[in-house]
Amino acid sequence: MDTKWLEDFIAVAETHSFSRAAELRNVTQPAFSRRIQSLEAWLGVALIDRTTYPTRLTEAGETFRAEALDMLAHLSETRTLLRGQERPAGDVVDIAMPHTLSLTFYPGWLHRLELGVGPLQTRVLALNVHDAAMRLVDGGCDLALVYHHAGAPVQLDPARFEMLQLGTESIYPYARCDAQGTPTYRLPDPSGRPVPFLGYARDAYLKRMTDLILGRMEPRPTLLLRCQTDMAEGLKMMVLEGHGVAFLPESAVRHETRRGLLACAGAAHSVTMDVRLYRERSRQNRPVKAVVDRLWALESARVGG
């Protein structure tokens, strides 16, 4: 059995969609379906009820889901042990989060936490939103700090995972300012000309948000794609050099807008996401670290969770 099959199965269990799970796993849907079928053949039972929509698990699939998660977590722990790596100390907090949040939200949030619970020893795992959530599911971190939007939800079982909403983040189109402090590009362009566009790579969560905004625009602007990358910070640098328009989180461009280097290129075209914190509920074989309990209690009291 290939461990990728287990990860594929968890992805479809979390998303309730073969097409969405295949996209997140970066494989074609036919290849993804074959891997799920291979897992079912290896087990000798059907895991997915293919007669319903959205996709749901069979009774055997629901039973195997918990086992698959435990197997992946155990394999990860065993690999760490065999590689001779030291297990994290009990007071180290492993937090998985998108690159953008690690640069914008996390430093200030950590400062606020430490005012309440004292100095913390943390380890940041900078991943995309899906992989950050899956790292928590696989038992590879203590907390997952992620974006969430109804148009692209993070689907974690509330019976297994707790959630706190820590704030919100909005994204808008931005362009470099000219000498008069106005954006060099507008979205859409007033004259209808094509706009040089800087976009996110296929698996980036902010690409889904960008597509959501563009899909609402009537008429949809003509865009000339100039560059794609996973990270908002990379797109911001391209915008600063005048290469085009990009949709960027407000927090990522706060300093540049204050200094008059960047300006919003279309204030009517935006979307607001939740910033959410998830943790796994304590289990007998996997208790929550005491330091995680302390910071969770602090944040829960602050947000009224």
pLDDT in tens, 127-167: 889 889 988 988 889 999 999 999 988 888 899 999 999 99
What is the three-class DSSP state of 279?
strand
Domain ranges of the chain: 3-82, 92-165+274-303, 169-272
Looking up tokens 């690690």, which residue turns up? 102
List the CATH code of the domain at 92-165+274-303.
3.40.190.10
pLDDT digits (tens, 9 = 90+) for 110-120: 999 999 999 99
Residue 229 CB burial class (10 angstroms; 0-12, 13-18, ≥19):
middle
> Is 18's pLDDT higher than 90?
no
Domain 169-272: which topology?
Answer: D-Maltodextrin-Binding Protein; domain 2 (3.40.190)
> Is there a common fold for 92-165+274-303 and 169-272?
yes
Report whether CATH 3.40.50.1110 matches the domain 3-82. Answer: no
| Alpha-carbon separation of residue 2 from 82, 99, 142 (angstroms) | 19, 29, 26
What would the pLDDT profile of 49-84 be if each residue is shown by its tens digit? 877 777 889 989 889 888 888 888 777 767 666 655
Amino acid at 296: W
Residue 120 to residues 46, 264, 292, Cα–Cα distance (Å): 45, 36, 10
> Cα–Cα distance between 61 and 67 in angstroms, integer?
10
Q: Which residue has the higher pLDDT, 198 or 134?
A: 198
